[in-house]
Amino acid sequence: MFKNAVRAFVAMVVCLGGAQTVTAQQLSCNAEDFSFKARTCSQAARLLKPSLALRGALVAGFGQWRNNPEVFHEEPSEFAHRFAVFYARHTAQNAGELIAGYLNHEDPRPHLSQEHGVWNRTRSALLGVVRTQDTDGGMRLSLAPIAGAFGSGMVGLACYERNNNAAAGFQRTGIVYGSYFARAIFREFKPDLSTFASRLLRQKRPY
């Protein structure tokens, strides 16, 4: 276990250092354009974010340390395998969102609610995952999160050496779909959290 943890830590540090030094070219995407090309550009930009690479390194490092999901060989190369699986799942998730959102004519832009009060804003954020605006301004069932969750959950069937049955795939699908609701709530209250954090930082420390 200790040797596995050391290997994971070293590999994670190398990966994090590489992610911080590499400057990816930023794609210029038009958020007002709902064409398939513009949607593809936006999804590609999400995959090229340095923050996603850092998340992938942390997830792979933590999984290597705990050996979870369990693999047959606790080798340093398994860190790269876990990191690749992280990106494969996110790529499948983005592809599902892209295709379903385009075919269903969904507006991919995030929209903050105009509600007031914690409960009303939370309710609006949660409903925003289930329904969405279309390209004409109307409301319809949101299929992009469902397709994205299935893409991410089911790609594990081909990537993992164990826990690669249908039940595990549906379990991962449910977890990913639940993360859409968590992100929606965070996005809704992010301005309030930022304001609260700024006020705390500006307060003078008592002497």
Identify the residue with better confidence: 144 or 161. 144
Give the pTM: 0.73
Q: How far is CA 152 from the centre of its chain?
A: 10
Q: What is the pLDDT of residues 46-84, one digit of tens each?
A: 888 888 888 888 887 777 776 666 555 556 667 777 888
Q: Cα dist. 94→68, 157, 181, 203 in Å? A: 24, 17, 16, 41
Per-residue pLDDT of 130-147, as tens digits, reads: 888 877 777 888 899 999
Classify each residue of 129-140 as buried b or exposed e, where b means 16 or more C-beta atoms within 10 Å of its C-beta.
beebbeeeeeee
pLDDT band at 185 (very low <50, low <70, confident <90, very high): very high
Mean of pLDDT values over 176-194: 89
- What is the rounded CA–CA span in Å between residue 189 and residue 68? 32
